[in-house]
């Protein structure tokens, strides 16, 4: 195994990602940032310099389990103090599984400002995937807002609530088009940053396309005009191959699909991302699937495909159900669990402020990171009453607006028995103000992969025999999974990674408004944390020369 060393500088720069000029957070001048390419069991070292002038920063390595290094998970308030302007912080962790992962800012709404990138971990020499391809390509799908993170965050945390709204554009690997046909001082239509992203292919070759989504809000459908995609990997795990025309992908998910360049080679084709699950005003994202030797900038002669209907849940649930563990690659889950936690997802009010909650508790991060507070028994740092393991499912009507939408705020965490098997049932419900409205939430677990045991419509019946609905034979493992409108999703994981781990909705504004929880397990087994993670809250005195 090797050491892969990276030196990154994070700063604001004016960019015209979708031809509209605004500030973006870049790594070494780029958004998306550089792709981390490594082999299984390599150690990745990222020396991160914060040159943001007035903002803190942290970076989370999304999908990397951080076995033995929970303090390098990069979650502000949970695993470390944020890196203050001018400081350099060194992340050091092992990438212990092959596959496609992501990284992104995990502080405030900074992810929205473009601080993101991909991690591709390849197999050791001599080993190969259970599928073949000629070339490897990767793209990150995002949505893009023209307001600054400050404006968006202030709107969310004001009494006069100002929702972030629909994004202005969808970007495919950092490129989009907002300005076509518009005239504005900020529209820089000849800027090469906003000419569509190009994926060049050689006729008849097969491509592994790694696709990751780091949208702030949007659930997406992605497709390449005239080409089928064979899904082979999800969140770093091999799945039984299945063919789709369009791929549904939620924020925090990664997939690998195989695409054969088997269409007429005399032209280019459109690659399209489209918002689903919300009635959105955001125009579709467009890239060019370029058949060599056609000119990469040559527009395809066709109108881009319009994609699936935004409000059709059926094909989205079907994709979830089509995904099975590839035989011989994912161990089946323990057949029973030690604990079941049901998590009702709701939108609420606290003292007039709009929030999102789990079992009526909205999350507040403490100023002193949990990892330090738990290790050093600083009990005053966070609420010691454990959060609820469920909600009043007998009496709560998930199909209507809640009679009482008031919630409480808490910083308490779930203590999990080390090595125990935990089931989580995510239960969706109606939103606070609008009848017949329920949203899609992609939930992401830090530090673990989980088995996706099942999805369903309506209210999950805790008293029924769960085996009726669960796939305990060949479920896939993931680190991010969606819960569909008015539906439930059940997952299972083993609490075998000593540390403190966030589990939250990956919609950035929802997490910001409290839609998350924190698990703690096996902290007593951990050695000393590096002092570099201290410096804030009650840990200020720790920072000794």
Instruction: Determine if 444 is a binding residue for ligand C2O (CB under 6 A).
Output: yes
Residue whose CB is less far from ligand C2O, 177 or 504:
504
Residue 492 interacts with Cu ion (CB under 5 A): yes or no: no
Q: Which does 505 bind (CB under 5 to 8 A by kind): ligand C2O, Cu ion, none?
A: Cu ion
**Alpha carbons 86 and 535: distance in angstroms, whole number:** 14
Q: How far apart are CA 422 and CA 363, in angstroms?
A: 21
Q: Which range of residues in 253-261, 396-404, 433-441, 485-493 is near Cu ion by CB under 5 A?
A: 433-441
Whether the Cβ atoms of residue 350 and residue 360 lie closer than 8 Å to each other: no
Query: What order do you get walking across the sheet with 22-27 strand by strand?
Result: 22-27, 3-15, 42-50, 88-95
> Which of ligand C2O, Cu ion, none does residue 444 bind (CB under 5 to 8 Å by kind)?
ligand C2O
- Cβ proximity to Cu ion, 446 vs 510, nearer residue: 510
| Structure tokens belonging to residue 479 | 């680190």
- DSSP-derived letter for residue 30 is B
- Using the contact rule CB under 6 A, the part of the chain among 51-59, 235-243, 467-475, 498-506 near ligand C2O is 498-506
Query: With CB cut-offs between 5 and 8 Å by kind, which of Cu ion, ligand C2O, none does residue 510 bind?
Result: Cu ion
Half-sphere exposure of 115 (CA within 13 A, CB side): 28
Within residues 434-453, the interface with Cu ion by CB under 5 A covers 441
User: Which tokens sit at 311?
Assistant: 């409000």
Q: Is 441 in the site for ligand C2O (CB under 6 A)?
A: no
Best CA proximity match to 248, nearest among 223, 226, 230: 223
- How does 145-179 read in b/e, with b if 16+ C-beta sit within 10 Å? bebebeebbebbeeeeeeebeebbbbbbbbbbbbb
21 versus 60: smaller Cβ distance to ligand C2O: 60
Q: Give the residue, chosen from 104, 175, 441, 448, that forms a contact with ligand C2O under the rule CB under 6 A.
A: 104
Site for ligand C2O in 247-266 (CB under 6 A): 252
Alpha helices by DSSP H, 335-484: 370-375
Identify what 227 binds: ligand C2O, Cu ion, none; CB under 5 to 8 Å per kind: none
Options 239, 505, 509, 513; binder of Cu ion; rule CB under 5 A: 505
Number of residue whose CB is nearest ligand C2O: 62
- Residue 375 as a binder of Cu ion (CB under 5 A): the answer is no
The stretch among 213-221, 323-331, 460-468, 508-516 that binds Cu ion (CB under 5 A) is 508-516
CA 325 to chain centre: 21
Question: Which one of 114-122, 237-245, 416-424, 502-510 is the stretch in contact with ligand C2O (CB under 6 A)?
Answer: 502-510
Contact between 502 and 349 (Cβ < 8 Å): no
380 phi and psi, to 5 degrees?
-75, -10
Cβ closer to ligand C2O: 77 or 498?
Answer: 77
Q: For residue 144, how far is the Cα from the chain centroid?
A: 15
**Which residue stretch of 46-54, 298-306, 500-508, 533-541 sits at the interface with ligand C2O (rule: CB under 6 A)?**
500-508
Q: Judged by CB, which is closer to Cu ion: 11, or 441?
A: 441
**Which residue's structure tokens are 């992908």?**
249
Residues 503-522 that bind ligand C2O (CB under 6 A): 504, 506
x/- contact string, 207-246, with ligand C2O (CB under 6 A)? ----------------------------------------
- Restricting to residues 47-86, name those near ligand C2O by CB under 6 A: 60, 62, 75
Residue of 510, 514, 529, 532 that binds Cu ion (CB under 5 A): 510
Report the partner that residue 252 touches, choosing among ligand C2O, Cu ion, none (CB closer than 5 to 8 A by kind). Answer: ligand C2O
507 binds, among Cu ion, ligand C2O, none (CB under 5 to 8 A by kind): Cu ion
**Does residue 106 belong to the site contacting ligand C2O (CB under 6 A)?**
yes
Classify residue 319 by its DSSP letter: H
Q: How many Cα atoms within 13 Å fall on the side-chain side of residue 482?
A: 30
Question: Considering only CA atoms, which of 493, 492, 483, 424 is closest in space to residue 456?
Answer: 483
Dihedral of the CA atoms 499, 504, 509, 515 (nearest 10)?
-110
Q: Find the part of the chain contacting ligand C2O (CB under 6 A) among 134-142, 275-283, 363-371, 499-507.
A: 499-507
Binding characters for ligand C2O, 391-430, by CB under 6 A (x = yes): ----------------------------------------
Give the CA distances from residue 162 to residues 158, 292, 354, 407, in Å, rounded to whole numbers and listed in that order.
7, 47, 10, 19
**DSSP secondary structure letters along 456-508:** EES---TTS-GGGT---SS--EESEEEE-TTEEEEEEEE--S-EEEEEEESSH
User: Taking the mean position of all CA atoms in its chain, how far away is CA 380?
Assistant: 31
Q: Binding partner of residue 502 among Cu ion, ligand C2O, none, CB under 5 to 8 Å per kind?
A: ligand C2O
How far, in Å, are 59, 246, 307 from residue 224 at the CA level? 31, 8, 10
User: What residues pair up with 10 in beta bridges, in sequence order?
Assistant: 27, 50
Nearer to ligand C2O, 466 or 516 (CB): 516
Which span (28-36, 62-70, 111-119, 497-505) binds Cu ion, by CB under 5 A?
Answer: 497-505
Q: Which is nearer to ligand C2O, 21 or 448 (CB)?
A: 448
| Binder of ligand C2O out of 446, 459, 478, 492 (CB under 6 A) | 446
User: Which residues share a beta bridge with 144?
Assistant: 169
Which residue, 337 or 345, is less far from ligand C2O as judged by CB?
345
Answer yes or no: are the C-beta atoms of 116 and 31 closer than 8 Å.
yes
Report residue 111: phi and psi, to 5°.
Answer: -60, -35
CB 164, min distance to Cu ion, A: 12
Among candidates 202, 173, 178, which has minimal Cα distance to 189?
Answer: 178
Positions that interact with Cu ion (CB under 5 A): 441, 505, 507, 510
Positions that interact with ligand C2O (CB under 6 A): 60, 62, 75, 104, 106, 252, 444, 446, 502, 504, 506
């Amino acid at each position: 195994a090797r050491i892969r060393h990276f030196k990154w500088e994070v700063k604001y720069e004016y960019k015209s990602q979708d031809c509209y000029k605004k500030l973006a957070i870049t790594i070494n001048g780029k958004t998306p940032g550089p792709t981390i390419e490594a082999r299984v069991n390599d150690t990745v070292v990222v020396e991160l310099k914060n040159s943001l002038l007035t903002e803190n920063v942290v970076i989370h390595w999304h999908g990397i389990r951080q076995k033995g290094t929970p303090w390098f998970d990069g979650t502000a308030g949970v695993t470390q103090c944020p890196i203050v302007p001018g400081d350099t912080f060194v992340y050091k962790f092992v990438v212990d599984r092959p596959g496609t992962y992501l990284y992104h800012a995990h502080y405030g709404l900074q992810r929205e400002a473009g601080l993101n990138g991909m991690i591709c971990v390849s197999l050791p020499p001599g080993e190969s995937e259970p599928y073949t391809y000629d070339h490897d390509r990767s793209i990150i799908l995002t949505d893009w807002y023209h307001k600054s993170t400050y404006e968006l965050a202030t709107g969310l945390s004001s009494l006069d609530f100002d929702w972030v709204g629909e994004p202005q554009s969808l970007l495919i690997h950092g490129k989009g088009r907002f300005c076509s046909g518009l005239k504005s001082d900020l529209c820089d239509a000849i800027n090469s940053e906003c000419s569509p992203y190009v994926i060049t292919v050689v006729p008849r070759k097969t491509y592994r396309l790694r696709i990751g989504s780091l949208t702030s809000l949007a659930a997406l459908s992605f497709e390449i005009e005239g080409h089928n995609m064979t899904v082979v990997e999800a969140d770093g795990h091999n799945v039984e191959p299945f063919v789709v025309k369009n791929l549904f992908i939620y924020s925090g998910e990664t997939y690998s699909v195989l695409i054969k360049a088997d269409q007429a080679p005399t032209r280019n084709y459109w690659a399209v991302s489209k918002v689903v699950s919300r009635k959105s005003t955001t125009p579709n994202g467009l890239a060019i699937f370029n058949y060599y030797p056609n000119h990469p900038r040559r527009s395809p002669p066709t109108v881009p495909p319009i994609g699936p209907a935004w409000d059709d849940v059926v094909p989205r649930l079907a994709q979830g159900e089509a995904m099975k563990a590839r035989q011989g690659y994912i161990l089946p889950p323990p057949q029973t669990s030690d604990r079941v936690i049901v998590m009702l997802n709701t939108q609420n009010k606290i003292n007039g402020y709009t929030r999102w909650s789990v079992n009526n508790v909205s999350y507040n991060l403490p100023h002193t990171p949990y990892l330090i507070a738990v290790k050093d028994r600083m009990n005053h740092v966070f609420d010691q009453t454990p959060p609820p393991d469920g909600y009043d499912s007998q009496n709560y009507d998930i199909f209507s607006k809640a009679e009482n939408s008031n919630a409480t705020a808490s910083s308490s965490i779930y203590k999990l028995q080390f090595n125990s098997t935990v089931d989580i049932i995510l239960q969706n419900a109606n939103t606070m103000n609008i009848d017949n409205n329920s949203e899609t939430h992609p939930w992401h677990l830090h530090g673990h992969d989980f088995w996706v045991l099942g999805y369903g419509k309506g209210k999950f019946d805790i008293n029924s025999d769960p085996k009726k609905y669960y796939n305990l034979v060949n479920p896939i493992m993931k680190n991010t999974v969606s819960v569909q409108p008015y539906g439930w999703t059940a997952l299972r994981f083993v609490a075998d990674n000593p540390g403190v781990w966030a589990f939250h909705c990956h919609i950035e504004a929802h997490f910001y408004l409290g839609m998350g929880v924190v698990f703690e397990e096996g902290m007593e087994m951990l050695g000393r944390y590096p002092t570099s993670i201290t410096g804030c809250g009650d840990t200020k005195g720790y920072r000794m020369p």
